[in-house]
Amino acid sequence: MNPTFPDPSAALAAGKAPLHLLIAAPRGFCAGVDRAIEIVERAIERYGAPVYVRHEIVHNKFVVDSLRTKGAIFVEELDQVPDGAPVVFSAHGVPKVVPAEATSRGLDWLDATCPLVSKVHRQAERKVEAGKHILFIGHRGHPEVIGTMGQVPEGAMTLVETLEDVAELAFPEDAPLAFLTQTTLSVDDTAEIVAALRARFPQIAGPRAEDICYATSNRQAAVKAIAPRCQLVLVIGAPNSSNSLRLVEVAEREGARSRLIQRAAEIVPEWLDGVETLGLTAGASAPEVLVREVVERLREWREVSEETIVSAEEHMVFKLPRQLVG
C-alpha cells in the first residue's frame, strides 16, 4: 500500500510525465522456490563447492548465475555429474529413474522438488495403483510434466494440453480415468479443460482440490486485480518459466498489453509511449531485487508513483530435506 504521489507540476517541469505503477501482490518468490534455493545454498555449505544441480534450480537466470558464483554447477542430466559429487534435483521435480540412478551410482543427492509438485507425484502413483489411467493436463516438454509423467509406468498417463486434445481422446465414456494437472497452469484455461473432461467422461476422478498451486493462483488473481487499470503490464520472468508466461496471458486477457522481461535492460522505452498506468509483477522464480531494478529504470525516464495492490496474503513455508537440518 502507501502510494506516493509526486507533485504532477514538478514532474512536468522536470520534463518527465508522471507514470503510476500498480505493483501486484503477491508476486515473485513462492515457498517452493525459497526452499529450492536454500537447499542449494545449504548443500554448498554442507558439502563444499562444487555442488551439481540437475536443471536450472528454478527458471531464472539471475538466480542461477548467483548460485553459480557460490559454487553450484548446473547440468541437464545426471551423467554430467562426476562420481562422488553431490547433486540437487530442481524444484520442478524429476522422473523416478533419476533418484534411482543417483542412488545406484552412490551419489549424495538432495531433492529440491517443491512439496506441492511431490504431492501430485504421489497422487499419480496412487491413482495408477488403483487401476486408473491418468489424463495429465500440462505443457509438453516442460520439466515438471516430464517429472510427473515419470512417476508411473510408460503408457499409464496421457498428456492433455488443449480442448482439442480432449475432443480427440479415444477412451470409452466409462473408462477408469483420473485427471491431474501441472502446478503452474492458467487457472481459467484449466477450468475449461477440466469441464470438457467431465463432460466427456462423467465418472472421471479428479483431485479434491486443484493441483494448480496456491502461488500460481494468487499471482494470476493479483494480475487480474491490476491489469484492467493498466495500459501495459510488465511481468518479470524467464521465457521458459511456465508460471510467468501465464501471467502475461492473464494480463492480456484483462485488456492490457503485456511484456515478459528478464531484466530492466530489456524494457524498450517506446513501450511506455502513451502509458499512464503501468502494472508490474514477477513470476514465482523472479527475485524482488529485479522488481526494484525495473522501478529504478522507469524512474530514469518518468516521474514514478508506486501503489501496491494486495489481493492475498501468503504465509506458506516448506520444511527443508532432513539431510540439511541440524
The set of catalytic residues is 144
Member of 135, 149, 215, 238 binding ligand SF4 (CB under 6 A):
215
Our finding on whether 91 is near ligand 0O3 (CB under 6 A) is yes
Q: With CB cut-offs between 5 and 8 Å by kind, which of ligand SF4, ligand 0O3, none does residue 283 bind?
A: ligand 0O3
Q: What are phi and psi of 22, to 5 degrees?
A: -105, 110
207 cis-preceded (ω within 30 degrees of 0): no
> What would the x/- binding string for ligand SF4 be over residues 153 to 192, using CB under 6 A?
------------------------------xx--------
Q: With CB cut-offs between 5 and 8 Å by kind, which of ligand SF4, ligand 0O3, none does residue 31 bind?
A: ligand SF4
Residues 6+ apart with CB under 8 A from 57: 36, 37, 39, 40, 63, 64, 67, 72, 74, 88, 90, 91, 112
**Choice between 233 and 282, CB closer to ligand 0O3:** 282
Residues 146-185 that bind ligand 0O3 (CB under 6 A): 183-184
**Choice between 201 and 283, CB closer to ligand 0O3:** 283
| Chain centroid offset of residue 55 CA | 14
Q: How many CB atoms lie within 10 A of CB 221?
A: 15
Number of residues engaging ligand SF4 in binding (CB under 6 A): 15
Shortest distance in whole angstroms from residue 106 CB to ligand 0O3: 27
Handedness of CA 151, 157, 161, 163 (dihedral sign): negative
Our finding on whether 218 is near ligand 0O3 (CB under 6 A) is no
Handedness of CA 281, 284, 288, 290 (dihedral sign): negative
Contact between 207 and 132 under an 8 Å Cβ cutoff? The reply is no
